[in-house]
Amino acid sequence: MLLALIIPWMLRWICRACCFLAVWTGAAAAQALPPEVEAALAAAQLPRDALVLLVAPAEGGPPRLAHRADAPINPASVAKLATTYAALDLLGPTFTWKTPVYLDGPVRNGVLQGNLLLQGQGDPKLVIERLWLLLRRVQALGVHTIAGDIVLDRSAFAIGPADPAAFDGEPLRPYNAAPDALLVNYKTVVLTITPEAGRARVRAEPTLAGVQWPASVPLAAGECGAWPATLRADFSNPLQVRFAGSFPGACGERSWNIAFPEPASYGGRAIAALWQEMGGQLGGQVRDGRVPAGLRPAFVWESPPLAEVVRDINKYSNNVMARQLFLTLSLQLRGSGSDESSREVLAGWWRARFGGEPPAVDNGSGLSRTESITARQLGQLLQAAWTSPLMPDLVASLPALGLDGTLRRAQQNVGLAHLKTGSLNNVSGVAGYVHAARGRRYVLVAIANHPRANEIRPVVQALVDWTSRQ
Enumerate residues 6+ apart whose C-beta is below 8 A from 140: none
451, 21 contact by CB (below 8 A): no
Phi, psi torsion values for 53, nearest 5 degrees: -135, 145
Enumerate residues 6+ apart whose C-beta is below 8 A from 460: 419, 429, 430, 446
Handedness of CA 251, 257, 259, 265 (dihedral sign): positive
pLDDT in the model for residue 30:
52
- Residues in the chain, pLDDT under 50: 1-29
Phi, psi torsion values for 195, nearest 5 degrees: -65, 135
CA distance 196 to 450: 45
What are the distances in angstroms from CA 198 to CA 219, 220, 250? 6, 9, 13
337, 91 contact by CB (below 8 A): no
Question: What are the sequence ranges of the domains in the chain?
Answer: 31-94+306-468, 98-162+265-302, 174-263
pLDDT in the model for residue 312:
98
pLDDT digits (tens, 9 = 90+) for 190-203: 999 999 988 999 99
Q: Could you confirm whether domain 31-94+306-468 is CATH 3.40.50.720?
A: no
CATH class of 98-162+265-302: alpha beta
The distance in angstroms from the start CA to the end CA of the chain is 46
pLDDT in the model for residue 230:
95
Phi, psi torsion values for 382, nearest 5 degrees: -70, -35
CA distance 148 to 145: 9
Neighbouring-strand partners of residue 337: 157
What are the distances in angstroms from CA 73 to CA 19, 52, 382, 450? 27, 8, 17, 10
pLDDT in the model for residue 198:
86
